[in-house]
Structure 1
Amino acid sequence: MNGKILVIEDDVEIANIIQSHLTRENYSVNWSSTGKEGLEDFKKDKYDLIILDIMLPEIDGFTVCKNIRLVSNVPILILSAKKQEVDKVKGLKLGADDYITKPFSLMELEARVENNIKRYKGYNKKTDDNSIWTYKNGLTIIKDEMKVLIDDKEIELTSKEFSLLVVLAQNEHKVFTKKELYENVWNQDNLEGNNTITVHVKGLRQKLKDNVKNPKYIQTVWGTGYKFIGEKMP
């Protein structure tokens, strides 16, 4: 198998054409028809490349791109009918690796898919950015297994608490607003009040034994949100 690809595209005909062609070229291809479904499917599996439309139901492609890039360096290839330069620039600034406009050539798409996946796999081999993150003060996050340990003892987190921790830890010292955390962890952009994030952060801190007044991991940025301040072990 040459790689695993997630196609996030609401046009059934286009999605079927892409899926059929890339499957013949020995790629494993999954398809999501909405932005929300795409984010959910992305979190369930490991992919080597995302093919992403911009004009999607529920959550638009720009937001999907931004949310994926916060937690992963997987290549994102935008495939869109939006041909304006401003849209291309916006997509690339949000973290997309490539941009193809519709209508498109399957041969060109295949070539870009192949090149992006080769770069991604080569980059991952050269880096130490694996799925196990170890910090001072006893915290270990095993991302692929969805496990968190304190002083080598596993602690039980809910799926939302784990996702919240990963988003913060993977972007250490970046300040997230409550709205941004809600969009990333709940895959929704309609934050109903601030209590949801507050409650989950409080529960996460309790399980990590993280004192809000003297935090080791999650620091409150008053009036804005939260950031991860854990110090990684060399």
Structure 2
Amino acid sequence: MYTAITSLVQNNAFQMKFDWLVIFKIASEIDPNCNFIEHLRALKYSNENLLAKFIKEAEMIIRPNIKSIEFETYVKLAKWLIQLCHNMDSLFKLWDDVLLHNNIFDERVSKCFTERVRENISRGDAVALEYHFKRLPKDYRDRVSEIFRDQVIFLLESPNRKWTYENINAIKKLLHDNSLNWRRDDVIQSLELISQSHTLELLNIFPEILDDWFHSDFSDTKEKKIPKICV
């Protein structure tokens, strides 16, 4: 009987339907370890509308049944759900509206969550990056701030990148944002990359970022990189 149910779940899921989610209502009785997930590892919702619909269905069906799932199984389920969320909107929706949280659970899925964030923000511009960082749960900003700092540096690395006014404004806000936990080396690298840009409008924010440096607690007395960048 279990094999037949698993086959039905797999067949329905890969047809991009959502009837199979009903298994969560009876999983505690027929598959308490949610092993059926192993048959769905290849499932992907490449269409964003389908993914949004899946998350909505998950909110209605999975969330009410989470408390009947043992903790280790819930962690496994949550990691699988997080991997399905290939955009930040779906990831935030899953995090806020589907998953139930406590400190132990959040710690267990932290690495999976941050890696999904890294993958999701790797394809966006500065406007998208700033938008996504503002939407992050506050208790997770410290955990993923390095990922966002790295992406800011990546965006600045190409001197020939075309910068719109909106993207310049967004990158400036990110560089000014203390909640990104900017480190000394990050700021120096940002200044150096901005100084090498071929876009005049981006070069124009250099004095503001430099002013931030002078008002910070950072020091450059030994290596004296800042004067070299300013030349």
TM range (shorter): under 0.3
Point out the structure with max Rg over C-alpha.
2
* Structure with greater proportional helix content: 2
TM-score after normalising by structure 2: 0.27
* Structure with greater proportional strand content: 1
